[in-house]
């Protein structure tokens, strides 16, 4: 197997010149580049990716931090991020923080030690002090981390208005909203605020119930769904994440409540599960693939020190269904 020294000898240049030509397309004169490339081809030299990355101070790896991949939204997001980063030449390293202590600390330390080139952070951690003052490339996904860390997210105000318009087409008088933990501050909270403002303006009663912190599992959603029908027997509309609304639909059917005749439902996220249940859920769809593409491109631009003034906020759409 040919080594870089063999290429240098064949091309009549130094090892350093070969390295610079291979790692930087514009290095040296055209004649030198041609000699090196001819030697590489003749000797069938395959550069060491590890050596190349060390010379560039790059690992070509981006860390992705999410609470869990068992939740439909994060499952779709991680898949879309991995694909987008792959097409940009980067590998991914995944960290799920739910029920793990110090998981984020490890990733931050790896970033600081240059074991990865950047992080896309979408976990619902309460301690955001970890991110204060960090100089390494970090993108927040739908999270408020630090004034210095940019956020990629959906236009949740528009999402709240889309959900409101879906309910206003019907005569709902009491809507229950299922939110994430109020302890976590995210742009997603804006859709509840926007929704409530519209509903109140039209005289519709709303109540907000919150899942426990990091309560992303089916068990938590089903338990809250059961409690909603006990605490709010007159509820005729429910808004929440896909898994929350699908859980409410399951409980409603079991209780003999007719959907959508007696109970209207709108899911927020619009992942694959809204189309795969006992009926298609009416849903506000976050553009997950597009958001992932934006986040991936922006973290790569940050890693490479390139300016980026493209939009950070993308619009949602309403997916018609059978529940509203």
Query: Bigger pLDDT: 316 or 44?
Result: 316
Distance from chain centroid for Cα 168 = 30
Average pLDDT, the chain: 88
User: What pLDDT was estimated at residue 20?
Assistant: 76
Domains 61-154+289-313 and 156-285 fall in the same CATH topology: yes
Is the N-terminal amide bond of 260 cis, ω within 30° of 0? yes
User: What pLDDT was estimated at residue 29?
Assistant: 81
Distance CA 105, CA 116 (A): 14
Instruction: Evaluate if residue 189 carries a pLDDT over 90.
Output: no
Please name the CATH architecture into which domain 156-285 falls.
3-Layer(aba) Sandwich (3.40)
Tokens of 25: 């397309």
248 CB neighbour count, 10 Å cutoff: 29
Q: Is 226 exposed, middle or buried (0-12, 13-18, 19+ CB in 10 A)?
A: middle
295 CB neighbour count, 10 Å cutoff: 29
DSSP H/E element including 107? helix 103-112
Q: How confident is the model at residue 102 (pLDDT cuts 50, 70, 90)?
A: low
Instruction: Evaluate if residue 319 carries a pLDDT over 60.
Output: yes
Instruction: Evaluate if residue 112 carries a pLDDT over 90.
Output: no
Alpha helices in 155-275 (DSSP H): 156-168, 189-201, 218-231, 242-254
Task: Give the residue carrying structure tokens 């529940």.
Answer: 323
C-beta separation of 115 from 58 below 8 A:
no
User: What pLDDT was estimated at residue 11?
Assistant: 86
Query: Structural domain boundaries of the chain?
Result: 4-56, 61-154+289-313, 156-285
Q: How confident is the model at residue 152 (pLDDT cuts 50, 70, 90)?
A: very high
- Strands 283-285, 264-269: pairing kind: parallel
Show Cβ contacts of residue 191 under 8 Å, excluding neighbours closer than 6 positions.
156, 157, 159, 160, 163, 268, 284
Please name the CATH architecture into which domain 61-154+289-313 falls.
3-Layer(aba) Sandwich (3.40)
Distance CA 197, CA 178 (A): 16
DSSP H/E element including 152? strand 151-154
User: What pLDDT was estimated at residue 88?
Assistant: 93
Picking from 144, 224, 237, the residue whose alpha carbon sits closest to that of residue 179 is 224
User: What pLDDT was estimated at residue 49?
Assistant: 56
- Domain 4-56 sits in CATH 1.10.260.40: yes
User: What pLDDT was estimated at residue 5?
Assistant: 84
Distance from chain centroid for Cα 208 = 25
User: DSSP character for 274?
Assistant: G
């Amino acid at each position: 197997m040919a080594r870089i020294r063999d290429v240098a000898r064949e091309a009549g240049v130094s090892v350093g010149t070969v390295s610079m030509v291979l790692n930087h397309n514009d290095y040296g004169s055209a004649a030198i580049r041609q000699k090196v490339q001819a030697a590489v081809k003749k000797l069938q030299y395959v550069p060491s990716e590890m050596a190349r990355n060390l010379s560039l101070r790059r690992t070509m790896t981006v860390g992705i931090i999410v609470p869990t991949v068992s939740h439909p939204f994060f499952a779709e997001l991680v898949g879309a991020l991995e694909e987008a980063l792959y097409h940009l030449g980067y590998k991914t390293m995944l960290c799920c923080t739910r029920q793990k202590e110090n998981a984020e600390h490890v990733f931050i330390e790896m970033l600081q030690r240059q074991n990865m080139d950047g992080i896309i952070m979408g976990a619902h951690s309460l301690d955001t002090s970890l991110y204060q003052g960090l100089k390494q490339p970090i993108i927040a996904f739908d999270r408020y981390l630090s004034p210095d860390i940019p956020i990629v997210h959906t236009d949740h105000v528009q999402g709240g208005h889309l959900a409101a318009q879906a309910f206003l087409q019907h005569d709902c008088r009491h809507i229950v909203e299922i939110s994430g933990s109020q302890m976590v501050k995210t742009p997603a909270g804006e859709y509840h605020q926007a929704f409530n403002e519209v509903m109140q303006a039209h005289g519709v009663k709303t109540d907000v119930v919150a899942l426990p912190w990091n309560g992303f599992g089916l068990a938590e959603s089903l338990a809250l769904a059961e409690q909603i029908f006990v605490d709010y027997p007159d509820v005729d509309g429910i808004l929440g994440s896909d898994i929350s609304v699908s859980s409410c639909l399951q409980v409603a059917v079991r209780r003999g409540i007719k959907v959508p005749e007696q109970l209207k439902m709108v899911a927020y996220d619009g992942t694959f599960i809204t189309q795969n249940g006992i009926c298609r859920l009416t849903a506000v769809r976050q553009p997950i693939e597009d958001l992932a593409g934006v986040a991936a491109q922006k973290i790569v631009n940050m890693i490479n020190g390139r300016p980026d003034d493209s939009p950070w906020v993308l619009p949602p759409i309403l997916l018609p269904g059978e529940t509203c």
